[in-house]
Structure 1
Amino acid sequence: MRVAILRRTPQVSFSMDVYADGLISGLKAVRPTWEIVEFAPASYPADKKNSVWLVGLWKYYERYWRYPRMIEKQNADIFHIIDHSDGHLARWLKRKAQPKIVTCHDLINLFQPENIYSRTPLPFVSMAAWKFAIRGMEKADRIISVSAHTAKDVVNNLKIVKENITVVPDAIESIFRILPKTVVEPFRQQNGVSPETLCLLNVGSNHPRKNVFTILKVMKALKEQGLPVYFWKTGADFTPEQKIFIQTHDLQNFVAYLGKPDKEKLVQIYNAADVLIAPSLYEGFGMTILEAMACGTPVITSNVTSLPEVAGNAAILVEPLDVQAMVKAVCCLLEDSIYRQSLIEAGLARVKPFTWENTAEQIATVYETMLKER
C-alpha cells in the first residue's frame, strides 16, 4: 500500500511536526511493507528578504494554490491530511477515487478567535482562510479526531456526521521517561529550587486559553501563605502584563522562565518539577499531561474540554478559573506524600497505552477498512 502523508510546512507548527513524525514512525513499525510518502508546502526561501506583506502573499499562494495543485497530481492508495488547517486539500482531491482522511486536532479558533486575531497582520483574511480550510474536511471520506471532545465539536460545527469520525488519541515519544535522581537533583539546584520546595511547571504557548495568569494568581496566594513553592514556565515567555503582575506582587524570586528547551532538556525539566499545572480553558487533546505523567510528575489540570478524557483518574481536576481550588490541590500535594506517590503511579499506568505504535495501528486499521469498503 502507498500512503501519502500530507503535512504542514516544516517548522511552522511544532505540534504538527511531532504528530506527523510520530505517525510516520509508527506506521513504518506496524506496517513495514507499506510505502509511506510525505508531501508538504515549500518553506519561504531563507535567502530572500521581502516585506511582511509579500512574504504573507507568497505563503498564501503556496499553501492554497501551488501545493494543492501539486498534490492533485500525486498517486497513492490513501491520502491522509494530518492537520485540519489543511482541510482544504480534500476539496482538491475530491475527484480522486482513493480515500481521503483528515486528522482534526481541535476547533479552538471557532471558540476563541483571538488566537488568530492577536497574531496576524490580516486577521480577517486569516480567519476566512482558516474557516475555508476546516470546511474542506466536509469533503473528506473519514475524519480522525484526537479526542471524543474534538469529535463532538466537529459534529456540532461542521456538516460531518459522527459515523464518519474515528477517535484515535495522540501519543507521546519514548524519550519522556523517569530520569535518575543524580540527573534531576543537580538540575534543580542549578535553577534555584531547594529539595524542600514544591516546584510547579507549565509547558507550552502563552495564548489566553492556556490560562497562565491564573497560575500566577495561585503563586501569589501560596506565597502569601508562606509556603515553599516555585514556578517554572517553558515554551512561550511571560507576556508584558504577566511580567508586571510578577513584579507588582514580588514574585520575581518565586518564578522563572526556562526558555524553549529541546526534547532532552524538556525531559529533565519534567523530571525536576514536582507538579505540572495545566489549567487550560480549552484543549483539543492535552499532550503535556501525558508527557508529565511519563516522567513521574503529578498533574493538576482543568475539568473542561478534552482534559478529563486524557487525564482519566490519574490527575487532580479543577475548575480552570478557581484559584482557591488550585491552591488547595497544590497544598494537598505538598503535605500528603502518600497521595502524591499514588498520583505518580496512576500517571505512569495511564500513559502506557499512548504510544505511536498503538496510534499508528488504529489509523492503519482505518486505512484498511476504508479500502475494503471501496
Structure 2
Amino acid sequence: METLNKDTIALVFRKKQPYYNSIEELFHSIYEFLKDNVDIVPIELNGSGTGPRALWGNMNQLRKYPGSLIHITGDVHYAGLLSIKPVIITIHDVNSILNRGFLKRVFLKLFWFWLPALRATQITVISEFSKKALCEIIPYAKKKITVIPNPVNPVLVKVEKEFNNIKPIILHIGTKTNKNLERTIEAISTINCELIIIGELNTSQEGLLLSYKIDYQNEAHIPYESIKYYYEICDLVSFVSLYEGFGMPIIEAQKVGRPVITSNLASIPEVAGNGALLVNPYDIEEIRNGVCKIIENKEFRRNLIERGFVNAERYKIERISNLYLSLYSEILG
C-alpha cells in the first residue's frame, strides 16, 4: 500500500484482470479529474476471485488504511468490512452477480450486498433502475443509496462521417446472453450491411453468422483505443440488450455522433433519453424495422444524432466527478 496521510481518500480498485477493465477505465477517468481537486490515490487490491483467501487478504489490506475515506469503485464490495474508516461502495450491477446456483448466490449476497450494505457509509449506484433492484436486496439500507451515473469517456469526441446507406457498418458491443447478439443477427440477416462484433464469440454464435451469411468482423479483448476506433468508423450502433445496469455503449456512441438503436428494457430508456431509437429486444421484426428506419430515413437519423449529443452532455466527466466530490465533502464534513 502506498504511503498515505490521514486526509487521503483511497480510490480502491479490484485486482487487475486481463479481460475485465470497464470499471478501471471508468474510474481512472474520474480519478484524473478528482486528483486536481482532492487528495486522492488509487489503490489496487492484491487478491482476485471469490475464495476465502482473496476475501480475507483484500479486507485485511484495507483494514489498516490510515486515510480519511475509502471509496470502493466496484465489484469488491466486501473489501472495506474490516476498516474503521468511512466507506463508499459503488455498485454497478445486481443481476449478473446473482445469476448463480443457490449456495453461491447466498454467499455472494452475504459478502457482496448484505454485510457491505450494513458497513457502508454511503452506496452509489449508476441508475435509478439499479437503485430499485438493489433496494429489493438490501431494503434496510435504501437511505444510504445515491444515484451517480457513469460518465462518458472524455477521450471520445464527435467525429463526422458520411453515412453509408448502401452498405452501412453496424457496431455491436458484447456477446454475453444479455447482449442479444443472436436476435440482432437474425434481424439484420436481410439487410445489406457489415457487422462488427466486439466480444468473444461462442460456437453457436459463429454458426448463426455463417448460416445467415453475415458479412462480419469480430474483435475480442481489445484496448479501449480500438473500441474508440470502431465507434468512429461505424455508421450505427446496435445495442438491443435484454438487461443492463447502465448501458455505456449508448452514451459512447452518442458522444461520437452515431445513431443508436437500443432496447426499451431495464435501465436503457433512462440512460438513452430521447437520443436513441428504442425497440422491443425480443421482437426480431421490430429490431429489423428500426435498423432499416435509421438507414433509410436521413432526417430521422439526423435528429437522432443531434438528440444523442444533447443526451451525452448529461454524462460529462466534470459533472459526474463533481457529484463524487460533493459526496466526499458531505461525508467528511
Normalised to the residue count of structure 2, the TM-score between the two structures is 0.89
How far off is 1:35 after superposition? 1.7
Task: State the alpha-carbon separation in 2 of the partners of residues 244 and 127 from structure 1.
Answer: 36
Match of 1:359 in 2: 320
How far off is 1:156 after superposition? 0.9
Q: Taking structure 1 as reference, are residues 265 and 109 closer, same or farther at Cα in structure 2, changes over 3 Å only?
A: closer
Match of 2:11 in 1: 5
User: Is this contact kept in 2: 1:102–1:142, CA < 8 A?
Assistant: yes
Letter in 2 for 1:231: L
Calculate the aligned-residue CA RMSD, in Å. Answer: 2.4
Match of 1:107 in 2: 94
The answer to whether residue 83 in structure 2 is matched with residue 81 in structure 1 is no
Q: Taking structure 1 as reference, are residues 105 and 369 closer, same or farther at Cα in structure 2, changes over 3 Å only?
A: same
How far off is 1:281 after superposition? 1.1
Secondary structure (helix, strand or coil) at the match of 1:196 reads coil
Q: Taking structure 1 as reference, are residues 197 and 345 closer, same or farther at Cα in structure 2, changes over 3 Å only?
A: same
Task: State the alpha-carbon separation in 2 of the partners of residues 111 and 89 from structure 1.
Answer: 18
User: Is this contact kept in 1: 2:26–2:153, CA < 8 A?
Assistant: no
Q: Taking structure 1 as reference, are residues 16 and 130 closer, same or farther at Cα in structure 2, changes over 3 Å only?
A: farther
1:32-53 CA distance string (max 9 Å, x none): xx22122222268xxxxxxxxx
The answer to whether residue 45 in structure 2 is matched with residue 41 in structure 1 is yes
Task: State the alpha-carbon separation in 1 of the partners of residues 289 and 46 from structure 2.
Answer: 49
How far off is 1:61 after superposition? 5.0
Match of 2:4 in 1: none
Secondary structure (helix, strand or coil) at the match of 1:255 reads strand
User: Is this contact kept in 2: 1:25–1:356, CA < 8 A?
Assistant: no
1:136-183 CA distance string (max 9 Å, x none): 3312111111111111111111244432111100012222123355xx
How many percent of aligned residue pairs carry the same amino acid?
A: 24
User: Is this contact kept in 2: 1:143–1:165, CA < 8 A?
Assistant: yes
1:186-226 CA distance string (max 9 Å, x none): xxxxxxxx76212211113x211111111111122xx2xxx
Match of 1:230 in 2: 194
1:347-373 CA distance string (max 9 Å, x none): 11111231222211101111111223x
Alignment of 1:1-374 (within 5 A): 1-11=7-17, 13-29=20-36, 31=37, 34-42=38-46, 60=51, 62-83=53-74, 85-93=75-83, 96=84, 98-109=85-96, 112-113=99-100, 128-129=107-108, 131-138=110-117, 139-179=119-159, 181=161, 196-204=166-174, 206-220=175-189, 223=190, 227-234=191-198, 236-251=199-214, 254-372=215-333
How far off is 1:112 after superposition? 3.5
Question: Which of 1 and 2 has greater Rg?
Answer: 1
Task: State the alpha-carbon separation in 1 of the partners of residues 40 and 211 from structure 2.
Answer: 54
How many residue pairs match? The answer is 325
Q: Taking structure 1 as reference, are residues 156 and 267 closer, same or farther at Cα in structure 2, changes over 3 Å only?
A: same
Q: Taking structure 1 as reference, are residues 130 and 23 closer, same or farther at Cα in structure 2, changes over 3 Å only?
A: farther
Task: State the alpha-carbon separation in 1 of the partners of residues 176 and 224 from structure 2.
Answer: 21
How far off is 1:27 after superposition? 1.0
For structure 1, the residue ranges without an aligned partner over 5 or more in a row are 45-55, 118-122, 186-193
Task: State the alpha-carbon separation in 2 of the partners of residues 161 and 246 from structure 1.
Answer: 46
How far off is 1:108 after superposition? 1.7
User: Is this contact kept in 1: 2:34–2:321, CA < 8 A?
Assistant: yes
Letter in 1 for 2:151: A
How far off is 1:127 after superposition? 7.1
User: Is this contact kept in 1: 2:262–2:279, CA < 8 A?
Assistant: yes
Normalised to the residue count of structure 1, the TM-score between the two structures is 0.80
